[in-house]
A and B are shown apart, each in its own frame.
Chain A
Amino acid sequence: MKEVTTGNHAVSYGAMLSRAQVIAAYPITPQTQIVELLSNFCATGKLKAKFLKVESEHSVMAASIGASLAGARAFTATSGQGLALMHEMIHWAANGRLPIVMADVNRSMAPGWSIWTDQNDSLSQRDTGWIQLYCESSQEVTDSIIQGFKIAEKVYLPVMVILDAFVLSHTSEVIDLPDIKLVDKYLPPFKARDMMDMKNPRAFGGLVTPDFNFELKYKIQEAMNQTIPVAKWADREFKRILGRSYGIIEAYKCEKADTILVTSGTITSTSRYVINQLHAQGKKNVGILKIRMFRPFPAKEVVAVLSKAKKVAVIDRNIGYGVGGIFCQEVKAAFGNEKKHPEFFNFITGIGGRDVTPKDIQGIIDYTETHKKPKEDIIWVGLRK
């Protein structure tokens, strides 16, 4: 059923269609509408879930961990400062191998106090063992929540589905809400492989000596390695049953591209708009590589697409202070042992919610095409100096 809805409500619908069983929540702008609608779904019986209002984001994740350990399908959502407060429990969820799905509405970290978007909140969690999916449309948000559970419950790692504050969270657009019967077919009820059992009481999260802990961490990396084929399978199954697919990355109009933009989040969508116009004018030497899955980082897939290009312009709406754009670092690292690599240009833009326009994207393309090499390590777009 087609509907006009916001990115935030697309998250709520995704959780409802996935039949989440426990939702622990603490509101934070710009995420509030997500849990508001979920609370409504629970109150009106549209979603048969336990809705837990807790006292902080740290408690949100603690409650989600408890629910997941008890064998429930657990969902939550947060943003920016809330995600940061959760940080200890974020590690806990992944190290505990719990298939929790959480939406993060990207919000710039304070100070300066902000409610607007950039990716530094979610990227600060990149090494916690969570799978990360970055979305460019409300449709992709709903679908990624559903796919998220499919992936999480297969590899026993939590999944973070990420959307831009306001540009997606508060923007209404047309989405096709999947039929819940088809979602049921895609995502059967969660049966935990190992959960709390009142008849067989055990402790969880106890002391692990150096004799064993190394291997536990190794297994997380092993699960991350499995995640790439599993996510591809989950996406294929989604296509088969629900008719849409996204890939873990997407090469868009790269067939004749010697310059490729690397994008994530809503910047991908605006870049498509620019590239479509260029291609319509007969200029077909620019394409896009959208990175949807950032963790695990699909290095092999990224190299396969980008190695055909002469120049790669990575657009980062984030910054690893003292290094540069975080997506750019990862893309470059993927080429570490390759004999040949394209020339990398790192553009940083849209920090703190600064608008990213088609003109900005065109400027990025123009700079890349007119320079043999970048003049600076970081090329700032839209910065007032």
Chain B
Amino acid sequence: MIEIRFHGRGGQGAVVASEILANAFFFEDNSVQTFPEFGVERRGAPVAAYLRIDKSQVLVRCKIYEPDHIIVLDPTLLNAVDVTVGLKPGGWILVNSNHKPDELGFPSKFRVATIDATSLAIKYHLGPRTSPIVNTAILGAFSNISQFMPIKVSMKSICGAIKKKVPIQRENNIKAAKEAYNMVIIDKELCKAK
């Protein structure tokens, strides 16, 4: 079973990102379970969403405390919350950031990838310029790094899930995701080391 935790801010689409990724994995015959942080959400406040993926039925029903990987939709969260809490050693951290992975200062026990999803979201007019919706772009980047994970997810499935779950601007969302797939910066050295 693979467990992924999403960090975002209310309104950025972290919960929808988790649902899109759940659907993408579901298209590839996986059992999935996804849920938001249970409770009330405020625009701009830190939010979390969770995703479990398994080949057999997901039975466990509680929050995820020790994720295998994390996806951070907002770079400013790195100074606001401890996004790596509970993250398993060797786990991936995928961050929406215009920095290179080694510039973010994560401990070497984690594998880091960055994608400038904000620029892509602005380029493809996803959400207003002041609060772009970055969730689809970051999932394109995730598809690329998933090739290093035990359970992979193809861009075809990501695009199919975007078509299913995103109500507007489907084509632009898909373009952003595809571009992000090619743009993601992976710390190759770290990748080999693990």
Contact = CB atoms under 8 A, between A and B. Distances in A.
A172 B62 contact: no
Nearest to A7: B35
B32 A173 contact: yes
B36 interface: yes
Interface residues of B, number: 20
Given A167-B61, A270-B60, A273-B59, A174 B31 contact: yes
A174 B26 contact: yes
B59 A272 contact: yes
Interface residues of A, number: 25
Contacts of B65: 357
Nearest to A29: B40
B33 A270 contact: no
Contact of A171 (B23, B26, B40, B61): B61
A356 interface: yes
Given A172-B22, A173-B33, A269 B38 contact: no
A357 B26 CA distance: 25
A51 interface: no
B150 to A, nearest CB: 19
A355 interface: yes
Given A4-B22, A4-B23, A174-B26, A166 B61 contact: no
Nearest to A353: B38
A269 B60 CA distance: 6
A171 B34 contact: yes
A166 B63 CA distance: 11
Given A167-B61, A270-B59, A172 B35 contact: yes
Interface string A248-269: 0000000000000000001101
A168 B34 CA distance: 10
Contact of B35 (A116, A171, A357): A171
Contacts of A168: 61
State the main secondary structure of chain A at its contact with B: mixed
A265 to B, nearest CB: 9
A45 to B, nearest CB: 20
A167 B63 CA distance: 9
Interface string A207-238: 00000000000000000000000000000000
B107 interface: no
A23 B175 CA distance: 42
Contacts of A2: 26
A168 B61 CA distance: 8
B60 A358 contact: yes
B39 interface: yes
Contacts of A167: 35, 38, 61-62
Nearest to A138: B33
Given A4-B19, A4-B22, A174-B26, A269 B35 contact: no
Contacts of A245: none
23 contacts: A4-B26, A4-B32, A4-B34, A166-B35, A166-B38, A166-B39, A167-B61, A170-B35, A170-B36, A170-B38, A171-B34, A171-B35, A172-B19, A172-B34, A173-B32, A174-B32, A270-B59, A272-B59, A276-B59, A356-B62, A357-B65, A358-B60, A358-B62
Interface of A: 2, 4, 115-116, 165-168, 170-174, 266-267, 269-270, 272-273, 276, 353, 355-358
| Closest CB pairs A-B (n = 10) | A166-B38, A171-B35, A273-B59, A273-B60, A266-B61, A357-B62, A173-B33, A172-B34, A355-B62, A272-B59
